[in-house]
Structure 1
Amino acid sequence: MAVTDLFARRATLTRSLRLLGEFRFEQRDPARFYGALANDTAAMVADLWRAATGHSPVGQTLLDVGGGPGYFSAAFADAGVHYIGVEPDPAEMHAGPAGSGGAATYVRASGTALPFADGSVDICLSSNVAEHVADPWRLGREMVRVTRPGGLVVLSYTVWLGPFGGHETGMWHYLGGTRAAARYTRRHGHRPKNDYGSSLFAVSAADGLEWARSTGALVAAFPRYHPRWAWRLTSAPVFREFGVSNLVLVLRPS
């Protein structure tokens, strides 16, 4: 069984439209948006794990690099997974509602220098973090390093030239990240949280695929929010940079 076979059944047009609808709540109702995204991510990871190993992920240890304020920890706890979140920003770590993190473990650290032993976790996840790191593939190498042989690395990131590459600056990033950030500052009176060149970087689909293939551990790559019939975009150079809004790289260290 291919590692994506189970998740492919979930990747319907209905799911894609539902998630797209949730994006409009990111700023005004983050609990709703991130809660929905966390539940969908936990289901995706569970499907990938079952397809790869033939077993439920219950009882496995998952390291979430850039886990944020607890929404993901609650979703994975509900799935029976032992969750460890890594977050460099303590303010971000505590930004969620009280109790959202449950009994999860949190570690303050950088994703590019994870304080964990080689092969110490079963699953390593990073959701929408790589585009916020100046050296995203150093983060990727760390994720592979800490994942045990036969485990699973799931690295998902926003592609710069996709429609959501500019984050809160909207599609003005097509005129350049610096120009988009400057326009946002003029309109809102403050710099964007995802500020091009400091907390947001241009990461391409091609670069991610090249890095993942170089590890020898890549087993799947697909657009995270697209229906299954649109996954073929991933193998289309140039078109994937604009059409794949978020790329998922799935690796199995050996």
Structure 2
Amino acid sequence: MAITDLFARRASLARSVRLLAEFRFEQSDPARFYGALAADTADMVAQLWAATGQSPAGQTVLDVGGGPGYFADAFAARGMSYIGVEPDPREMHAGTPAQRGDGTFVRASGMALPFADASVDICLSSNVAEHVPEPWLLGREMLRVTRPGGLAILSYTVWLGPFGGHEMGLTHYLGGARAAARYTRKHGHPPKNYYGSSLFAVSAAAGLDWAANTGALIAAFPRYHPRWAWWMTSVPVLREFLVSNLVLVLRAPETAD
């Protein structure tokens, strides 16, 4: 069984439309938006893991950039142990204790994870790589802490896709600095995701090249697209504009005897 087979069965057009509708609430009702995203993400991770022939129940998930912990309950509902890592104290405390649910939370940078080598079963990073200046250092750290045979799942927003500018909308096609300045003039305050400090231009090609060079890449697909549109990932240039959010699935290499 291919690693994506179970998840691909659920990657329908109806799912894509449902998730797209939830994106409208990211700023106005984050609990609603992140709750829906958490459920979908936990399903994706559990299905990718199940395709390895092992049950997700009892596995430890390290969520790099987990924010206030909206994902904790979603993973707990699937019998998985959740550890959230978040560097920003404001983000970490944005949710209520009830929203954080049952999990362990650590304040730390994803580019220097305070965990031992090979210490978790699954390391997840959901929409974080575009917010750090060294996304592939983040990726290397994720692989480092994942046990041999475990999965590192790195998902990020592609800069030239329609959501690359985040709350700045399509104005990011004018350039990141111009988009940020335009947003500031219009709203009277800078965007949360400020280009050059908390938002960076990360391409699909760069992620695929990095992942291929690790020798650990086992799958790459557009996170929110229906299965019949996954072919876009393999087409240079086109994927930068249409993939929107790229998922890289890596299996941590077995250690040599």
TM-score bucket of the superposed structures, by smaller chain: over 0.9
Question: Which position in structure 2 is the counterpart of 1:11?
Answer: 11
- Kindly state the Cα deviation for residue 90 of structure 1 after the two structures are TM-superposed: 1.4
Question: Which position in structure 2 is the counterpart of 1:94?
Answer: 93
- Kindly state the Cα deviation for residue 3 of structure 1 after the two structures are TM-superposed: 0.3
Secondary structure of the structure 1 residue equivalent to 2:116: coil
Partners of 2:97 and 2:83 lie apart in 1 by: 18
- Kindly state the Cα deviation for residue 97 of structure 1 after the two structures are TM-superposed: 3.0
Question: Which position in structure 2 is the counterpart of 1:41?
Answer: 41
Question: Which position in structure 2 is the counterpart of 1:85?
Answer: 84
Partners of 1:160 and 1:45 lie apart in 2 by: 24
The range that moved more, 20-29 or 228-237, is 20-29
- Kindly state the Cα deviation for residue 158 of structure 1 after the two structures are TM-superposed: 0.1
Q: Does 1:74 align with 2:73?
A: yes
In structure 1, what residue type is equivalent to 2:41? T
- Kindly state the Cα deviation for residue 22 of structure 1 after the two structures are TM-superposed: 0.5
Partners of 2:222 and 2:115 lie apart in 1 by: 29
**Runs of 4+ more than 3 Å apart:** none
Partners of 1:91 and 1:159 lie apart in 2 by: 25
Aligned length: 253
The TM-score, its normalising length taken from structure 2, stands at 0.97
Question: Which position in structure 2 is the counterpart of 1:127?
Answer: 126
Equivalences for residues 167-186 of structure 1 within 5 A: 167-186=166-185
In structure 2, what residue type is equivalent to 1:50? A
In structure 2, what residue type is equivalent to 1:2? A
Secondary structure of the structure 2 residue equivalent to 1:191: coil
Give the aligned CA root-mean-square deviation in angstroms.
0.6
Partners of 2:106 and 2:96 lie apart in 1 by: 18
User: Deviations along 1:197-227, whole A, 9 cap, x unmatched?
Assistant: 0000000000000000000000000000000
Q: Does 1:141 align with 2:143?
A: no
In structure 1, what residue type is equivalent to 2:162? P
Partners of 1:111 and 1:216 lie apart in 2 by: 21
User: Deviations along 1:23-42, whole A, 9 cap, x unmatched?
Assistant: 11111111111000000000
Gap runs ≥5 in structure 1: none
- Kindly state the Cα deviation for residue 12 of structure 1 after the two structures are TM-superposed: 0.3
The range that moved more, 207-216 or 55-64, is 55-64
In structure 1, what residue type is equivalent to 2:103? A
Secondary structure of the structure 1 residue equivalent to 2:112: coil
Partners of 1:16 and 1:56 lie apart in 2 by: 26
Secondary structure of the structure 2 residue equivalent to 1:156: strand
Question: Which position in structure 2 is the counterpart of 1:105?
Answer: 104
In structure 2, what residue type is equivalent to 1:162? G
Q: Does 1:26 align with 2:26?
A: yes
The TM-score, its normalising length taken from structure 1, stands at 0.99
Question: Which position in structure 2 is the counterpart of 1:230?
Answer: 229
Question: Which position in structure 2 is the counterpart of 1:197?
Answer: 196
In structure 1, what residue type is equivalent to 2:70? Y
